[in-house]
Amino acid sequence: MHHTDIHHIAVIGAGTMGAGIAQLAAQHGYQTLLYDVNRDVLATAHERISYFINRLAEKGKLSHDEAAQSIARLRVSSDLDDAATAQFVVEAAPERIELKQRIFKDLEARLSDEAILASNTSTLSVSEIAAATDHPERVVGMHFFNPPALMPLVEVVAGSESSEQVVETTIALAKALGKRPVRTQDTPGFIVNRVARPFHLEGLRLLEEGVADIETIDRIYREAGGFRMGPFELQDLIGIDINYAASQSVYEAFDHAPRFEPSERQRQQVASGHLGKKTGRGWYGDE
Ligand SMILES: NC(=O)c1ccc[n+]([C@@H]2O[C@H](COP(=O)([O-])OP(=O)(O)OC[C@H]3O[C@@H](n4cnc5c(N)ncnc54)[C@H](O)[C@@H]3O)[C@@H](O)[C@H]2O)c1
């Protein structure tokens, strides 16, 4: 399938990522079906997407007509059969391998043989998801970043069985959605979550060893490292539990390589329940 043959995109899961990806697809001219098992989530996502698109029109980034058309292109549904006519699917359901494998099987039973099935997984193996299907060559990774409507990067992940055509079409589609795709092999953490490990873990080690306090470490990353944020302020933004889970997942996938060993100090912080901005307090006090 060529990317110009794609007119209808289905997004599976209407949470943080799925809602943003659906917004992006509808805004870029695709008939978009947003599916979730939870109707309340769907209703909230629908409202939120319309709100964001209308705001773009108010700011003059879209005409009012374009905004209305974008919103009209979006449908939400809790019936997976409604995804059957999609030529391209992006799955953004919870990060659990059995769940994703089941969704891909269910999709395969409904969609045409040519349809491309992409997963937005951050840490799971695309090849392992694909292994549950009869046609693993049409399964690919399409890893967006949060928030998907704004972040330019997309990692396109070639699974061990993904066909070259499927990878190329996914790259072309990412470009058609206004993104800057990079191609990566199906390796734990892909590129971004892998390079992010030493960034976070070394900061945590400095803290654990008592070399400096949180504020100083963040400041040195910013001022000497040239990063926009240090590891502690960034973890407060991402969610410390999410960051810890990413470390655990990469550590497991690399057979407990010492360089990826998760931080005990971070584990304790997760156990304290102070997870960052989303709980009002994280490494830093009231947020
Ligand atoms: N949050 C991030 O920053 C981020 C960034 C990149 C990639 N991801 C990946 O994107 C995926 C989704 O993450 P999220 O943060 O949007 O999660 P989320 O929890 O916000 O949303 C997941 C949604 O999936 C729905 N769901 C549950 N079971 C389902 C099923 N069987 N079929 C369809 N939908 C189902 C839930 O109701 C929920 O609305 C994960 O694989 C995650 O690793 C997340």
* CATH code of the region 3-185: 3.40.50.720
Average pLDDT over residues 109-122: 97
Name every residue whose Cβ is closer than 8 Å to that of residue 10 and which is 6 or more positions away in sequence: 32, 33, 34, 35, 82, 83, 86, 88, 89, 90
Q: How far, in Å, are 9, 71, 72, 112 from residue 33 at the CA level?
A: 6, 11, 11, 16
14 CB near ligand 1 (under 6 Å): yes
Average pLDDT of the segment spanning 201-228: 98
Peptide bond into 147 cis (omega under 30): yes
Rounded CA separation 82/32 (Å): 11
Which pLDDT tens digit goes with each residue over 201-213?
A: 999 999 999 999 9
Does the pLDDT value for residue 282 go beyond 90? yes
Same CATH topology for 3-185 and 193-279: the answer is no
Q: Measured between alpha carbons, how far is 227 from 213 in angstroms, rounded to an integer?
A: 18
Q: Give yes or no for residue 16 CB within 6 A of ligand 1.
A: yes
Token digits for 213? 């306090």
Q: State which CATH number among 3.30.830.10, 1.10.3720.10, 3.30.43.10, 1.10.1040.50 fits the domain covering 193-279.
A: 1.10.1040.50
- Contact criterion met (CB below 8 Å) for 148 and 17: yes
Q: Which candidate in 155, 200, 247, 249 is catalytic?
A: 155
252: helix, strand or coil: helix
Does residue 124 contact residue 245 with C-beta atoms inside 8 Å? no
pLDDT of residue 286: 65
**Could you confirm whether 64 is annotated as catalytic?**
no
Distance 216 CA to ligand 1 centre (A): 34
pTM: 0.93
**Catalytic residue, candidates 143, 162, 233, 247:** 143
Atom of ligand 1 nearest to the CA of 123: 43
Q: How far away, in angstroms, is 16 Cα from ligand 1 center?
A: 7
Q: Can you give the residue ranges of every domain in the chain?
A: 3-185, 193-279
Q: For the segment 44-98, what is each residue's pLDDT rounded down to a tens digit?
A: 999 999 999 999 999 999 999 999 999 999 999 999 999 999 999 999 999 899 9
Using pLDDT thresholds of 50, 70 and 90, give the confidence band for residue 287. low
Give the tens place of pLDDT for each residue, 252-264.
999 999 999 999 9
Pocket test for ligand 1, best of 24, 33, 34, 36 (most atoms within 8 A of CB): 36
Q: Hey, what amino acid is at 36?
A: D
- Ligand 1 neighbour 18 (Cβ under 6 A): yes
**Residue 127 is a catalytic residue:** no
Is residue 46 annotated as a catalytic residue, yes or no?
Answer: no
Residue 1, pLDDT score: 87
Alpha-carbon dihedral angle through residues 26, 29, 33, 38, given to the nearest 10 degrees: 0
Q: What tens digit of pLDDT does each residue of 125-147 get?
A: 999 999 999 999 999 999 999 89
The H-or-E segment that residue 203 falls in is helix 192-208
